């Protein structure tokens, strides 16, 4: 990934910056939806991220129809 920025800030001057990073990683995960038979559906997800030190992520929420 690479990002370049050139900004003209008027009286404050110009700003220029660039950054780049490239890494390989892996996301492994699973999730479940709990169908309550209504417009509201709770869900949960568990994800294991493998990149520069591994981490676990647990997410939960509610989906609903509008």
User: What's the pLDDT tens digit per position in 9-65?
Assistant: 777 888 888 887 777 888 899 999 998 888 899 999 999 988 877 889 999 999 988
Indicate the SS3 state at residue 12: helix
Give the pLDDT confidence of 2-11 residue by residue, as tens digits: 777 777 877 7
Residue 31: name the closest of 4, 53, 59 by CA.
Answer: 59
């Amino acid at each position: 990934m690479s990002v370049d920025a050139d900004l003209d800030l008027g009286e404050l001057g110009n700003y220029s910056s660039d950054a780049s990073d490239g890494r390989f990683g892996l996301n492994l995960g699973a999730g479940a939806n709990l169908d309550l038979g209504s417009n509201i559906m709770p869900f949960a997800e568990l994800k294991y991220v493998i990149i520069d030190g591994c981490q676990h992520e647990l997410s939960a929420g509610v989906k609903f129809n509008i």
